[in-house]
Amino acid sequence: MEERLRTHLDTLLARLGREILAPHDVREAVAAFAPTPRERRQVYEQLRAELTANDSAEAHRALASVPPDDDWELDDGRFVPGVPSIVRRALCVGAIFYQAVQETVAQEAPSEENVAVAKTHLAWVRANLWDDFTDAERAMLSADVGAWRDETLGAALARAEVFGVLAWALSLVSKIPHYDEEFDGGVLAEAYEALRQGTAQPVLRERWQLRRANTEAARWHRRACVEPGAPHAATSFQGMLPRRPSDDPEVTATDFILFKKPYIHLTDDERERAHTIATGRHIAASWLSGLTTDWDQPPTPQDGG
């Protein structure tokens, strides 16, 4: 961080330690010395990191007043991202998924055209989004075209479910599919390109819809993480079911239904597929609900819902 920003940040930290500030006061203070959006994001990130590391009561109180970015707002006492932050995050996640698709095509059919498409997109990503990625995401995208390892490709392709939920939140896709069905890759590619080209018209869904999506994703994530053959795996999930299970076609009185059968009877391949879907959707929905801000540390199955 530049010395200019560091000096002002220290002053703000001292102020937060001795007086109670509202979020709009913090925003005004940060805007006074950090004129660009990127500088403000850097300041907010550093503020939150230092307050989180401080175990004092004053630091815990101050943390409740510091948003992760300018457009984050309080919703039922919790900071949640606004449209600009969601669009920026969707672009980053979508770029990883889209690059993985192009990388797969370039590896399976390494024609000059396919390789050129993958290289062109990767160059655009590095030039326009690099600072907005997390450290783990930058490490993933640091490999050149043709050099992606299988595990990296798999992890990147799994971002489709994360991007799908973000695109749904922005009303760029119509619905979140059932938890035994992935988002349509072609639809996601169109949504990503619309965001990248600036032709999309994002409209944020209602906050209650985002919270409900997180509750559902957390529930499926927890179910996906139960080891096969665990004692009473099915009945142990009765407490997670709706009070009137017949109102929810996805569940029965004793276990979740996926691929038209009780979860406990899924094959290994079906379980792996269900785990990937639920985990990806929970990562996005938890962030949209303000329950997590660290994309390199996704939510545990017990978070949210």
12-59 tens-digit pLDDT: 999 998 999 999 999 999 999 999 988 999 999 999 999 999 999 999
Q: Report d(CA 3, CA 8) in Å as an integer.
A: 9
Residue with tokens 């560091």: 6
What are the pLDDT digits (tens) for 225-235? 887 766 555 55
Confidence of residue 287 (pLDDT cuts 50, 70, 90): very high
Q: What pLDDT is recorded for position 98?
A: 97
Task: Give the sign of the dihedral formed by CA 97, CA 98, CA 100, CA 101.
Answer: positive
Q: Report d(CA 185, CA 191) in Å as an integer.
A: 10
- 126 — alpha (psi -120 to 50), left (phi > 0) or beta? alpha
What are the pLDDT digits (tens) for 189-199? 999 999 999 99
Strand 261-262 with 257-258, pairing: antiparallel
Considering only CA atoms, which of 93, 109, 193 is closest in space to residue 145?
109
Q: For residues 43 and 32, is the Cβ–Cβ distance under 8 A? A: no
What are the pLDDT digits (tens) for 217-274? 998 998 898 877 665 555 555 555 544 444 555 555 567 888 988 888 889 999 999 9
Residue with tokens 């619905």: 175
Confidence of residue 304 (pLDDT cuts 50, 70, 90): low
Mean of the pLDDT values across residues 130-143?
94
Q: Report d(CA 204, CA 120) in Å as an integer.
A: 30
For residue 35, count other CB atoms closer than 10 A to its CB.
Answer: 8
Strand-pairing partners, residue 73, are 80
Task: Kindly report the three-state secondary structure assignment for every residue of 56-113.
Answer: CHHHHHHHCCCCCCCCCEEECCEEECCHHHHHHHHHHHHHHHHHHHHHHHHHHCCCHH
pTM, two decimal places: 0.89
Q: In the numeric block, which tokens belong to residue 167? A: 């695109």
Higher pLDDT, 122 or 254: 122
CA neighbours closer than 13 Å in the CB half-sphere of residue 244:
2
Q: For residues 125 and 209, is the Cβ–Cβ distance under 8 A? A: no
List, as one string, the DSSP characters of 171-233. TSSS-PPPTTSPPPHHHHHHHHHHHHHT-----PPPHHHHHHHHHHHHHHHHHHTSPTT-TTT
Task: Give the sign of the dihedral formed by CA 147, CA 151, CA 155, CA 160.
Answer: positive
Q: For residues 269 and 61, is the Cβ–Cβ distance under 8 A? A: no
Q: Report d(CA 70, CA 84) in Å as an integer.
A: 9
Cα 162 to its chain centre, rounded Å, is: 6
Q: Report d(CA 155, CA 127) in Å as an integer.
A: 22
